[in-house]
Structure 1
Amino acid sequence: MSPLIFNETMATYKKKYKAEGKKQEIQMDESEFETAGVLNTLDETASKSEQWIEKNSKPLFIALIAIVVIFLGYLGYTKYIVEPNEVKASNELAFPRKYFDEAATAGTGIDSLLNLGLEGADGNYGFLNVADKFSGTEAGNLANYYAGVSYLQLKDYEKAIEYLSKFDSDDEMLGPVALGAIGDAFADIDQSSDALDYYEKAANKKTNDFTTPLFLFKAGQTAMELKNYSKAESLFTKIKENYSKSDQGRDIEKYLAAAKYAVK
């Protein structure tokens, strides 16, 4: 390589290196400037936050105390009022349940036993007392169920509907049975449309192999009485397709055939 070419190459290299170095230096300066800006912003934000906290420290402290008081109050209410009340209600429910259970197996004197369960005796609460005095407890809720079923057996259908309607449960069996019992009460006072509505609610409340086919069947029979044959066919078909091994499913073909024939 000639000296002239070498000198020109070196000059170009130095010029380029110097330019790139200067560019990198500018980029570093810009980066440092941006970082400083972010840090300044954070400092300003922190300073404003501290000032706000100082300014509002008293309200914040009062709010914190209020939250603690509410939380402790809730714990105290639960431990010293709710829980003891639940225990007392459960104990009170045991007395009328004894008569209710006896009525389920008694050959005679059933009405007398059911009334003792409803009204209580010897200074002990009956279902009506427990439902009224302990309305916010699980035992009070159950008392509504027992009272409703008792009135249903006593053929006091209006009272049965009243108390069963107050009962609320997501239990696999009790929830559907309570709704079905309301359906039975409506059926017994010839309010078939209401009965059908509650039988369907009972069938759909919890899906299982006992209550679902039972109340689908009752709903189907009620639909037949109302001459709503297409609905009856639909209800009986559900039993055939999904609950063929249930008690209702064994003879469902003849009910389904009757509904289909009536539709024609």
Structure 2
Amino acid sequence: MATRQKLTKQQMKQDKFITLVFRAQEYFTGHTSKFLLGIGAIVVIAIAVFLITSQGQTKAREANDILGRASVEFRSGNFQLAAVDFQNILDNFGGTESAKLASYYIANAYFNLENYDQAEEYFRLHYDKYRYDDMLSANALAGIGHCLRAKGLMKEAADEFFEVYQKYPDSYIVPDCLFIGAKSYASADDREDARKLYDIYVKIPGQGQRALELEQYLVEHGVLESTTSNYD
């Protein structure tokens, strides 16, 4: 008869980490239309929660506990409550790794609350002061663009989307940024830049129906003459 082995504290932490990752993936898979700015990025929180805990630093652990709670609130759609906890981290634990993530996710929380001024402020704070990695930096720039677009500032929004492509050309969000950026330039009657982003976008493999959708939009706005192209 096999002896039942008691789990160590480290193994229990790993189990919690794995559970958090899978729950995050399941939640965002079912809500991709609502969370345009951070698809997949919530996994970064799960990884950070695990890594920061292992550091054993009291201040980092306290910030990490709040981050874990805030991430659950965020994933549950309690954006106002999550914003309070993320702000707590920024106010009291600014020198921790948790603060870098909090600065990004508080921006997303405010975006989902449709408070675009606050969201833009925190996306800029993350990008200018608290950069975590290239993935979140690219998403923060795109977040600024989404906020500006929501406020009707199409030209300024398009500039941010174009900057994502220029600074992070390998980012997974580049196709979306070029797509929305081209539309935003067209809406601002900047036909030259709209065409520039369109020309880049259609060279990306696998865009298919979306490329046709963009082409039709640009035809309607006088950027292109006709929709005669075929896309894979």
After TM superposition, the score normalised by the length of structure 2 is: 0.64
Q: 1:150: which partner in 2? A: 109
Indicate yes or no: 2:57 matched with 1:102: no
CA contact (8 A) 1:179 1:198 kept: yes
Q: CA deviation at 1:210?
A: 2.9
CA distance in 2, matches of 1:249, 1:209: 19
| CA deviations over 1:197-236 (Å, ceiling 9, x no partner) | 2111223332236311110111100100111111111101
CA contact (8 A) 1:144 1:167 kept: yes
Q: 2:59: which partner in 1? A: 85
Q: 1:215: which partner in 2? A: 177
Count of residues paired in the alignment: 166
- Give the one of 147, 159, 167 matched to 1:205: 167
> Residues 250 and 91 (structure 1 numbering): CA distance in 2 closer, same or farther, change over 3 Å?
farther
* Aligned-partner SS, 2:202: helix
Structure 2 runs not aligned, ≥5 long: 1-54, 227-232
- Give the one of 122, 128, 132 matched to 1:163: 122
Q: 1:244: which partner in 2? A: 205
CA distance in 1, matches of 2:90, 2:124: 13
CA contact (8 A) 1:204 1:212 kept: no
Which structure is larger by alpha-carbon Rg, 1 or 2? 1
Q: 2:98: which partner in 1? A: 139
Structure 1 runs not aligned, ≥5 long: 1-80, 104-112, 120-125
CA contact (8 A) 1:240 1:253 kept: no
> Residues 102 and 211 (structure 1 numbering): CA distance in 2 closer, same or farther, change over 3 Å?
same
Percent of pairs identical after alignment? 23
CA distance in 2, matches of 1:141, 1:170: 6
- Give the one of 97, 106, 115 matched to 2:80: 115
What amino acid is aligned across from residue 206 of structure 2 in structure 1? K
CA contact (8 A) 1:230 1:260 kept: no
Q: Quote the RMSD (CA, aligned, Å).
A: 2.5
